[in-house]
Amino acid sequence: MNGLFAQNAYLLISLLKVAVVVLVLLTGIAYLTWFERKVVAHMQSRWGPERVGPYGLMQPLADGVKFLFKEDPTPAGADRFVYFLAPFLSLSLALCTIALIPFGPGEISIFGRSTSLSIAEINISLLIVFAFTSLSVYGVALAGWASNSKYPLLGSLRSSAQMLSYELGLTMSVVGIVLLSGTFSLRTIVLAQQGTVLGVLPRWNVFSPIMPQVIGFLCFFIAALAETNRVPFDLPEAETELVAGFHTEYASFKFAMFFMAEYAAMVTVSAVASVLFFGGWLSPFPENPAFHFTYYLPAALAAVGGVLLIVNGLRYRSKVGRVVVPVLGLILLLLAATCALPGVNPVIQGPFWLLSKIFFFLFVYVWIRGTLPRFRYDQLMAFGWKVLLPVSLANVVVTSLLILLREKR
């Protein structure tokens, strides 16, 4: 048995990392729906999910069970193979991209073997991320075509035109990053952002001393909103015009898979934005002894969250809540104690800062949904071709000139 493990150690460790990442990501996607409903509800002076479990925490589980047991009709004239393939393709492509994200600089030991904090270490990982992103349009397009219905077809045609248009702006917005770092490797791009500017600002690409990529980031994030079909660019599923867009003829768990793919794409885009523009796993604080206390921020935040849950849980209005919420608080306190251990604290720094940045961008996604109205289709296409693409091209030209001038000095 030991010999079999030794021969296949790399494969087994990779499968273990895939299982952990998929489990965490799918759980995160489920609770991202809860988070979005809660945040938007509070923006509109509502409670949001509140009935199923304390603070509505069991709502994602209730939604999942509902989708599993709902009736699942298939249109009589549908292309059955493509009809079933489309939601699987959308979800699998969104999940695959996260395999390329580096979550930390160091290595961890699994079964006595060192392995990096990412699933796949590839020197052209940025190109592969955009390859997966460009293929994601096929899931939506095939869903509308295979349904053999006019409303899904219109939604899929809209989506194809929208995603292809904004794909150009999305790609051009990161060319400046490639020019500054000189590589397509996401890990190397993060390492190139180490240090500070003027001793205060982190040397992230968005604050680059050569050419701050603020314009590039804005172009990237706006294009990413369109690529993930989120407000104000959710024209492919505009309920007021197309019933529900490309997924009109889908029900049950196939319907849920499209939304899981959307939320997985949100997580992926947030991770890529963090890596390319905001230093990935790098801390925003300078690397000097004066800021060593920031190493204990993960433990401190978990401890504060645990105490708040215990205090609020003991006063919760239901008996179940007065038991469950304090138990969650105790789990957070245990997590805080674990994070403070000398052997654990250095390892979690990278994942903590990267996940914090991802969470911030997810909050911005939700904030935009609760704030902005949907564009008209002509406004959406005009903005992509007449504003976003020219601005992203101008950013590439200016960045190239500044890099050239710097090299000639």
Where would I find the beta strands (DSSP E) of 32-93?
A: none
Residue 42 has pLDDT above 70, yes or no: yes
Q: Which of 73-82, 153-162, 180-189, 357-366 has the lowest mean pLDDT?
A: 153-162
Distance CA(218)–CA(238), nearest Å, equals 24
Tell me whether residue 287 is in a domain: no
Tell me whether residue 37 is in a domain: no
For residue 202, give the amino acid letter.
P
**Among 104, 113, 94, which residue's Cα sits nearest to residue 265?**
94
Residue 1 has pLDDT above 70, yes or no: no
Mean pLDDT of 209-219: 94
Grade residue 137 by pLDDT with cuts at 50, 70 and 90.
Answer: confident
Q: Say how many domains are in the chain.
A: 1
Grade residue 2 by pLDDT with cuts at 50, 70 and 90.
Answer: low
Mean confidence (pLDDT) of the chain: 89
% residues pLDDT > 90 (the chain): 56
Tokens representing residue 48 in the block: 């949001």
Residue 8 has pLDDT above 80, yes or no: no
Please report which residue ranges of 340-388 form alpha helices under DSSP H. 345-369, 377-383
CB 251 within 8 A of CB 71: yes
Q: What is the pTM of this model?
A: 0.93
% residues pLDDT > 70 (the chain): 97
Tell me whether residue 328 is in a domain: no
pLDDT of 241: 66
Mean pLDDT of 124-153: 88
Tell me whether residue 394 is in a domain: yes
**Among 160, 135, 155, which residue's Cα sits nearest to residue 250?**
155
pLDDT of 3: 59
pLDDT of 239: 61
Which residues are within 8 A (CB) of 252 and not within 5 positions of it... i.e. 6 or more apart? 67, 68, 70, 71, 72
Tell me whether residue 82 is in a domain: yes
Task: Give the domain extent around 131.
Answer: 65-282+341-408
Residue 7 has pLDDT above 80, yes or no: no
pLDDT of 179: 94
Residue 238 has pLDDT above 70, yes or no: no
pLDDT of 88: 92
Tell me whether residue 292 is in a domain: no
Tell me whether residue 291 is in a domain: no
Tell me whether residue 142 is in a domain: yes
- The alpha carbon torsion through 311, 313, 314, 317 (nearest 10 deg) reads 130
Mean pLDDT of 183-187: 93
Grade residue 176 by pLDDT with cuts at 50, 70 and 90.
Answer: very high
Grade residue 277 by pLDDT with cuts at 50, 70 and 90.
Answer: very high
Distance CA(277)–CA(49), nearest Å, equals 34
